[in-house]
Amino acid sequence: MKNIVIFVFIIIVIMACTADGAWDLLLYQKEIFQNLGNYGHRIKIKVNNTAQDEAFTDFPVLVILNTSRITYSNISADGTGIKFISSDHTEELSYEVEEWNSGGESVFWVKVPSITALSNTDYFWLYYSTESNSNNTQPEDVWSNNYLAVWHMNDTGGIITDSTSFELDGTVNMMEGPVHEANGKISGAMDFIGDSDKIVINSAQGLDDLGPVTFSFWMLDTGYSDQDIIFNKGELKIHLLPAYTMDFFVDYVGGSDKDLERAYNDSWAQNIWQSFFITWTGAAVSNKITIHSNGVVPTNLTDQSNGGGSRVSDEGFDLIIGNDSLNNHSFPGQLDEIRISNAVRTPEWIKAQYLSMTDAFLSYGAEEIVSN
């Protein structure tokens, strides 16, 4: 009998805790709904992950608004009267505004908490109001999933801003004149037109001796010269070679004194925007490096070698984008949406990010009036 009483007591406690949790959830949902009281319109944004056999957590997606998707007159003129809300209204989603243009295209990055594999049933809400609210954005939280640096490259001054919490802002060195901004793949981009043009992240300590790592960027090459550099930090570099080759290189010394390298021919072309993701586990083995062009691995593997000896440390060196420290190998063209992560992104993640950045990962529902 005593055991039965104890068992019943335990069940009652569990039910009470569960009820308390459900009650807290209901209160939180009520609070969110109350905070949406002045938001008179909304649209449903659906996620199409049917092509990827992987579920994602805290996944940044590109949201593009324009006059065919929303009515700008229903949003505050400064663009702050916006909230992104989870499908079940239990969470406000963190977002960053890259560009606000009430007469055309506006660009946001939104962190989606979870996305189901092989599915197109996930969605979230965009609520908007004509009242301004400057406290909605949380850009640093958008880039919390192993991101070390995110540069949107749309800055108009002498600094490119890092959107992560690490604040690895870069100094724009345009020796041939003022900062060259161009219409990029996503909002603005940086245009490298002079032999001395580059962006320098001084003594980028948070980026020393990376591995595992994923580099990603969009590039528009307009005039290849010789070993044009995208990234350079000490003896690590990502650069372009003849035969439209993308090459990843890390210097090793001692032992067999052989450098680590992997390169693909015909992996890029001139005068078109292309997406690249380059991953490396940190091991001195060339097949631990992958290069994805527009979401897929190129087929023409042209050069590879395993590292022999010890890796040459790049600790204390500046990270340079678009050139080397001596201005010998400048990149001719535009670079956009540059990111570095301390994780090896999977092929599914890379493909989904490519789809997102080409506006092919989300679909936008009709505008709805919110009844309070």
What is the rounded distance in angstroms from the CA atom of residue 357 to the CA atom of residue 350? 11
pLDDT of residue 68: 97
Range of the domain at 233: 147-342
pLDDT of residue 4: 55
Q: Token pair of 171, please?
A: 């100094």
Q: What are phi and psi of 62, to 5 degrees?
A: -90, 125
Residue 36 lies in a domain: no
Q: What are phi and psi of 361, to 5 degrees?
A: -105, -20
Question: Is residue 121 domain-shared with residue 169, that is, in the same domain?
Answer: no
Instruction: Provide the mean pLDDT of the chain.
Output: 90
Question: Is residue 133 domain-shared with residue 214, that is, in the same domain?
Answer: no
Question: Is residue 187 domain-shared with residue 312, that is, in the same domain?
Answer: yes
CB atoms within 10 A of CB 296: 11
Question: Is residue 223 domain-shared with residue 128, that is, in the same domain?
Answer: no
Sign for the CA dihedral angle at 17, 19, 22, 24 comes to negative
* Mean pLDDT in residue range 67-76: 96
* Mean pLDDT in residue range 252-280: 92
Residue 9 lies in a domain: no
Question: Is residue 129 domain-shared with residue 235, that is, in the same domain?
Answer: no
Sign for the CA dihedral angle at 85, 90, 95, 97 comes to positive
* Residue 176 pLDDT > 70: no
Question: Is residue 123 domain-shared with residue 172, that is, in the same domain?
Answer: no
Question: Is residue 162 domain-shared with residue 124, that is, in the same domain?
Answer: no
Residue 324 lies in a domain: yes
CB atoms within 10 A of CB 62: 21
The domain tally of the chain equals 2
Structure pTM?
0.90
Question: Is residue 202 domain-shared with residue 123, that is, in the same domain?
Answer: no
Q: 């980028």: which residue's tokens? A: 204
On the CB side of 157, CA atoms within 13 Å amount to 5
Question: Is residue 126 domain-shared with residue 183, that is, in the same domain?
Answer: no
pLDDT of residue 204: 77
| CA-wise closest residue to 39 among 126, 127, 133 | 127
* Residue 13 pLDDT > 60: no
Share of the chain above pLDDT 70, in %: 87
Question: Is residue 216 domain-shared with residue 307, that is, in the same domain?
Answer: yes
Residue 27 lies in a domain: no
Question: Is residue 191 domain-shared with residue 91, that is, in the same domain?
Answer: no
Q: 């067999």: which residue's tokens? A: 256
pLDDT of residue 372: 64
Distance of CA 24 to the CA centre of its chain: 33
4 Cβ partners below 8 Å, 6+ apart? none
What is the rounded distance in angstroms from the CA atom of residue 128 to the CA atom of residue 143? 23
Residue 351 lies in a domain: no
What is the rounded distance in angstroms from the CA atom of residue 322 to the CA atom of residue 327? 9
Sign for the CA dihedral angle at 55, 57, 63, 69 comes to positive
6 Cβ partners below 8 Å, 6+ apart? none
Residue type, 314: D
The 3-class SS string of 9-37 reads: HHHHHHHHHHHHHHHHHHHHHHHHHHHCC
Q: How confident is the model at residue 175 (pLDDT cuts 50, 70, 90)?
A: low
Question: Is residue 216 domain-shared with residue 296, that is, in the same domain?
Answer: yes
Q: Determine the longest span between alpha carbons in the chain, in angstroms.
A: 89
* Residue 110 pLDDT > 60: yes
Lowest mean pLDDT across 137-141, 180-184, 299-303, 340-344 = 180-184
252-253 and 274-280 strand pairing: unpaired
What's the pLDDT tens digit per position in 162-172? 999 999 999 99
pLDDT of residue 7: 47
Q: 């190998």: which residue's tokens? A: 329
Residue 29 lies in a domain: no
